[in-house]
Amino acid sequence: MYTAKGVPFMFPGCTDVSHCRTIEEVMNEANLNWDVDKVPIKTHIDFSKDLDVPSMEVPNYYATIRKDNGKPLGLVKNNYTIVQNKDAFDFFDAAIGAGHAKWQTAGCYGDGNKIFVSAKISESIYVNGEDPVDNYLMFVTSHDGSTGVKVMFTPIRVRCFNMLSAAVKNSSAYLNLRHTVSVHEKLDLAADIMALCYQKTELLRELYNELSKVKFSDKDAVALFANTVLTKEELYRVEKTGHTIEQIAYRDYQAISDSEISIRKTNIISEMNEYYFSGVAQKDIFGTAWGAYNAVSGYYCNVDKATGLSRMDSLMFGDKSRKIEKAANLVLV
């Protein structure tokens, strides 16, 4: 029996900020209302207590630290410009105030190395008029130089909380903003982001409804799972040994051994196939390209054992995100 684990960025450990109307309120509610400073890095050499070796600044590099507790957050170069938490996403308050979106959750990685805030967009997608997909934005910024201000469009199928990919048809799910003072000076930035959201919504509405009408055989579904999980070399080995992908999916020992497919990947393909038939909210979409695609997403969202922040990170930005994106583009070919 499969169960839905929930929206990836709504887990114990992050803060519900859905009642907040401004990013300042969000930061206060989530205890992210601290500032960051950039300080020089100095050497500290203790060869001997009898030697007095003066400390020296390391050129071109600085440490970012939290002002409230002095904890280090990262190592950055001298041209790095700090954007405080309360300033990183305040450009979107206009969209919140206009009723186009609503803040949802907020949290951080580690001691605050990376900050994230999610918002739900007012407009949803309906597949066949009855299968809702809600649209969210994930806002991310870092204080360790790993990323600038980043906004990611994220569709979630409501019935199963499957995270779907918006990076389809050679388009990106991201709108990246560099960590410079100009990020605060961009006129109508909230309106630009909402325009991108509406474009994405229209594109995905058309594609998802198209997928729901494409008939998929069991063989088609297994092929999608295998092409999502296996490399081209591994797929070639299966073919070269005279075996089939179906044998791999149904855990045929000889096929697995001859093709040298790992047990881990075999299990993933097999479990995707099982989820396709009996996963959360799969009954009504089984036998379609929409159902096969949701089996891939459903596996990574609801079967994979990752939890909490690690689950969110992988689904939003890591390997699971790339697999879901790969499946989306494979099924749209």
pLDDT in tens, 85-143: 988 888 888 889 889 999 999 999 999 999 999 999 999 999 999 999 999 999 999 99
pLDDT at 53: 62
> What are the pLDDT digits (tens) for 109-119?
999 999 999 99
Q: What is the mean pLDDT of residues 204-208?
A: 96
> What is the tens place of the pLDDT at every residue in 158-168?
999 999 999 88
Average pLDDT, rounded, for the chain: 91
Query: In terms of pLDDT, which residue wins out, 131 or 194?
Result: 131
The predicted pLDDT at position 181 comes to 44
- Please, are residues 137 and 157 in contact by the beta-carbon 8 Å criterion? no
Element (H, E) at 174: strand 174-177
- The gap between the terminal CA atoms of the chain, to the nearest Å, is 32
Q: Quick check: 113 and 74 in contact, CB under 8 A?
A: yes
- pLDDT, tens digit, for every residue of 4-54? 999 999 999 899 999 999 999 999 999 999 999 999 988 766 655 665 666
Q: Tell me which long-range contacts 280-284 makes (C-beta under 8 A, separation of at least 24).
A: 280/2, 280/3, 280/4, 280/159, 280/160, 281/4, 281/157, 281/159, 281/160, 282/160, 284/131
**Per-residue pLDDT for 183 more than 60?**
no
Q: What is the mean pLDDT of the segment spanning 321-327?
A: 96
Q: Is the pLDDT of residue 202 over 70?
A: yes
- Chain segment 276-311, per-residue pLDDT in tens: 999 999 999 999 999 999 999 999 999 999 999 999
- Residue 276 is predicted with a pLDDT of 98
Q: Is the pLDDT of residue 329 over 80?
A: yes
Eight-state DSSP code of residue 288 = B
The confidence score (pLDDT) of residue 78 equals 87
Distance of alpha carbon 217 from alpha carbon 214, whole angstroms: 10
Beta-carbon contacts of residue 189 (< 8 Å; ≥ 6 apart): 91, 92, 177
Residues 127 and 111 sit within 8 Å (Cβ to Cβ): no
CB–CB of 190/326 below 8 Å? no
Question: Which residues have C-beta within 8 Å of that of residue 167, sequence separation ≥ 6?
Answer: 173, 325, 328, 329
pLDDT in tens, 215-268: 999 999 999 999 999 999 999 999 999 999 999 999 999 999 999 999 999 999
CA distances from 202 to 44, 113, 206, 286, 289 (A): 58, 35, 6, 24, 19
Percentage of the chain with pLDDT > 70?
Answer: 92
Checking if the pLDDT of 1 tops 90, the result is no
Q: What is residue 176's predicted lDDT score, i.e. its pLDDT?
A: 59
Place of tokens 């073919």: 239
Check pLDDT > 70 for residue 187. Answer: no
